Structure 1
Amino acid sequence: MSEQHLATEPHVVIVGAGFGGLAAAKALAGSSVQVTIIDSNNYHLFVPLLYQVATAALSPADIAEPIRHILAPYPNIRVVMGRVTGVDIGAKRVHLAEGDAIAYDRLIIATGSTSSYFGHDDWAPHAPALKSIEEARAIRTRVLEAFERAEWTQDAAERRRQMTIVVVGGGPTGVEMAGSIAELARHALARDFRRIDPAAARVILVEAGPRLLTAFPEALASYAQRSLERLGVTVTTGVPVEAIDGRGVTMGGRLVQAATVIWGAGVRASPAASWLGISTDRSGRIPVAADLSVAGVPDVYALGDTALCRDASGQPLPGLAQVAQQQGTHLGRALRENLTSGTVLPPFVFRNRGNAAIVGRHAAIFDFGRGRRLKGFVAWLLWAAVHVVLLVDFAQRSRVTLQWLWRYLTYRRGARLITAPAQSTSVRG
């Protein structure tokens, strides 16, 4: 089936309902511009909190909301659940796997990023990454099943392997995951088992570079490492991973036997550039001009993790939710004015509202730039407040706030469910 755009109003098609795509759609809401937003899922996912689903702190419904529900108040926005397979630049049409073709006047590509194993895709089945609800649930299953197996095995070496968890990657994802798993083992599971002591579990965080959290000032990164070590996490830096298989992780010529390995070491932009037939940087990002347009491709724009967008000093903007959200809002407003009044699209200017990472129960770091920094309990409170505000729905904000408060007072976690076999881990590419 094929669809021609027959309306007289200009039509903007947005591919991807992440932070950037959703922000662009909302900025175009209520205008005379017709908007179609396409996503392969029917929900918007709050990716920064996926690790809390993976470590049994939150349920998937706490961090995901149906796209149709979010955009229901806006009559000029249509939602299509489908998978884009290509773009016909000449005919200005987006092609879907389902056989449909959607015409556009302007196209926004906001398809985000996927995990990168740096050429070692054979590691993926043994070390799931964290980019989807399915992956988060699979990681949760692996972690919880490992403790269950450790409880019943009679073999001391196997028990030690089951109670060893290796997290690969010392960026925010790896740091937050390692800290959360350590707290899960030492607090939430502490009284659940009879034959093992979950607090004896080994959580190892591996980073190939010289230190953790290279996007943060060294003082904050050092504080984060000390906080992890106080939680019992073993931090290993300067040692690259050489192999990952069913036995565990080989690094520095030594095999660390581990039943659970989690990948948080790298990301790559979604393969949207192949739709346009253009060159990308090494991470697969689409180079964009200051107004977020794709050079040489008329009426096509890219934002968020999909785009290689540089700041005034020429440095690439980081792949953060706040970058994508600001770009989406800016581009949506700019296109609204351009399509209704002919106004030239202004350049995008990123306003850094701070970069944060949580380390544990009382510990977080916040870097506002220009020497302004926070760490410790106050940074943790600020991190929690920012993430609650970013959730798209009031009910989600209320649920997450109450659950975090309950966890803080009781040390308990409520989503400790094994819902799928660990071997069913899905890895998206």
Structure 2
Amino acid sequence: MPASSRHHLVVVGGGFGGLQLVNDLKGAALDITLVDKRNHHLFQPLLYQVATTLLATSEIAWPIRRLYRDRPEVTTLLAEVEGVDVVAKAIRLTYGKTIRYDTLVVATGATHAYFGKDEWEAVAPGLKTLEDATTIRRRVLLAFERAEIETDPAVRQALLTFTIIGAGPTGVELAGIISELAKSTLPKEFRRIDTRTARVILVEAGPRVLSGFSEDLSAYAHRALEGRGVEVRTGQRVTSCTQAGVTIDDTFVACRTMVWAAGVQASPAARWLGIAADRAGRAIVEKNLSAPGHADVFVIGDTASVLREDGTPVPGIAPAAKQQGAFVAKVIRARLNGQSEPAGFRYRHQGSLATIGKRSAIIDFGRFKMKGALAWWVWGIAHIYLIGTRSRFAVAWSWLWSYLSGQHSARLITQKETMRDRCADEHGEQ
């Protein structure tokens, strides 16, 4: 790194929290290095729409370098962090490189958690990255294509069975759109199969879907899913997951397409910094979001365990990460200017939203709740506003086209099929 007398801020992670921080520090007297293992920022709330063919990858992801091409004080590095030396105030990157910092912000997010069953990931991918989304999209579309040429009725039914594990917002949204794809979008395009016979199974170990919402909205979502033909199984656990299918409690279901939406695990930030973590691996931070014992290191977003005033955890959603990024930016500005720092971080909940499918969503703003078609329009407008000006028109047009025509605009199978995929689908290997 070039020598400079200016304060050097290193931000690890180009998600919502990291980018909000960098954006809010525009004009500050410091140099910023933004490190991410991918070259793009991803609008994760709409990732499931890429997985279910509604949106293209370019509509929800943008190159980080392009975002900061007019910010000469921001240097972007494509690299993966391997560790942090808090004594030397340096981070270790891939390729044996090291970067020193004056202030460090870790915003590395979270990944899938399989509760000790990591071998399930090969057959039931989670949904956190563009690669995950395109993999799921390929498997869903290939299932219909293979069913079209399959002559064995049992294998055909297995190909036309889709299981989503976990009934949080991602699981519910995936189940609703895959069902709509099978029952409304594809029927006229296949000749040897009736795609409307496809089974979409949503499994939830808890007592209800969307447990983060009120019971009445959760019950509405349950009914709406069943109205779309989704088999909702609450209070049941997946005990086995193989190439041939899933075992739900003690019942085996032949199924060739499975998606994991049941849990997340934080990045190893707490281990890098040598600080305590909660059960999900999130770093336990101070009220100002700094790492305990390290005032010059902050942890934000899904990587951090942050409590609200009532003792409940701050949810791992985009608005929370953005608020934390904005707060830390204020702390850093105050330090640079020799001013008193703002009081501890306070999360302002702006509401919870989830969509079940076309013309059906739920919204919970606390005292004000909404469900049905009107909630679906509000959900869409909110996401168009949040996604940023660069893709608002493209996303709005894709949604309008899908709404008016009933067709999905991103149904290309672009990844090469592997021999393992073919063998597993043809022979149902365990």
TM-score using structure 1 length: 0.96
Counterpart position of 2:376:
380
Verify: 1:161 aligned to 2:158, yes or no: yes
Q: Which of 246, 256, 259 matches 1:259?
A: 256
* Aligned ranges 1:29-68 → 2 under 5 Å: 29-68=26-65
Counterpart position of 1:396:
391
Q: Which runs of 5+ in 2 are unaligned?
A: 422-430
Counterpart position of 2:295:
298
Q: Which of 110, 113, 135 matches 2:132?
A: 135
The DSSP-based 3-state class of the residue aligned with 1:385 is helix
Q: AA paired with 1:199?
A: R
Q: AA paired with 1:18?
A: G
**Residues 20 and 326, structure 1, Cα contact 8 Å, conserved in 2:** yes
Counterpart position of 2:277:
280
TM-fit CA distance, 1:7:
1.6
TM-fit CA distance, 1:29:
1.3
Counterpart position of 2:226:
229
Taking only the aligned residue pairs, the percentage that are identical comes to 45
Cα distance in structure 1, aligned partners of 2:126 and 2:241: 13
Q: AA paired with 2:88?
A: A
* Aligned ranges 1:84-123 → 2 under 5 Å: 84-123=81-120
Q: AA paired with 1:27?
A: D
Q: Which of 415, 419, 422 matches 1:420?
A: 415
Q: Deviations over 1:170-213 (max 9, x none)?
A: 10010000001011111221211001111110000000111111
Cα distance in structure 1, aligned partners of 2:417 and 2:339: 54
* Aligned ranges 1:169-318 → 2 under 5 Å: 169-318=166-315
Q: AA paired with 1:177?
A: L
**Residues 203 and 232, structure 1, Cα contact 8 Å, conserved in 2:** yes
Q: Deviations over 1:265-289 (max 9, x none)?
A: 0001111212112221110000111
Counterpart position of 2:406:
411
Cα distance in structure 2, aligned partners of 1:171 and 1:414: 25
Q: AA paired with 1:412?
A: Q
* Gap change, CA 1:15 and 1:316, over 3 Å in 2: same
TM-score using structure 2 length: 0.95
Q: Deviations over 1:112-133 (max 9, x none)?
A: 0000000000111110110111
Counterpart position of 1:25:
22
TM-fit CA distance, 1:422:
5.3
The DSSP-based 3-state class of the residue aligned with 1:341 is coil
Q: AA paired with 1:378?
A: L
**Residues 32 and 76, structure 1, Cα contact 8 Å, conserved in 2:** no
Cα distance in structure 2, aligned partners of 1:365 and 1:339: 43
Cα distance in structure 1, aligned partners of 2:219 and 2:353: 14
* Gap change, CA 1:422 and 1:271, over 3 Å in 2: farther
**Residues 292 and 302, structure 1, Cα contact 8 Å, conserved in 2:** yes
Cα distance in structure 2, aligned partners of 1:85 and 1:297: 19
Q: Which moved more, 1:298-307 or 1:6-15?
A: 6-15
Q: AA paired with 2:282?
A: R
The DSSP-based 3-state class of the residue aligned with 1:379 is helix
Cα distance in structure 2, aligned partners of 1:295 and 1:152: 59
TM-fit CA distance, 1:56:
0.6
**Residues 30 and 76, structure 1, Cα contact 8 Å, conserved in 2:** no
Counterpart position of 2:428:
none
TM-fit CA distance, 1:337:
2.1
**Residues 146 and 259, structure 1, Cα contact 8 Å, conserved in 2:** yes
Verify: 1:337 aligned to 2:299, yes or no: no
* Gap change, CA 1:413 and 1:63, over 3 Å in 2: same
Q: Deviations over 1:388-417 (max 9, x none)?
A: 11213x231110001101100010011111
Q: AA paired with 2:405?
A: T
Q: Which moved more, 1:26-35 or 1:319-328?
A: 26-35
Larger relative CO (CA 8 A, sep 6+): 1 or 2?
Answer: 1
Aligned Cα RMSD in Å?
1.3
Q: AA paired with 1:24?
A: L
Cα distance in structure 2, aligned partners of 1:252 and 1:314: 34
Q: Which runs of 5+ in 1 are unaligned?
A: none
Cα distance in structure 2, aligned partners of 1:248 and 1:14: 42
Cα distance in structure 1, aligned partners of 2:322 and 2:64: 16
**Residues 275 and 291, structure 2, Cα contact 8 Å, conserved in 1:** no
Cα distance in structure 1, aligned partners of 2:361 and 2:338: 46
**Residues 139 and 422, structure 1, Cα contact 8 Å, conserved in 2:** no
Q: AA paired with 2:8?
A: H
Cα distance in structure 1, aligned partners of 2:204 and 2:96: 44
Q: AA paired with 1:419?
A: T
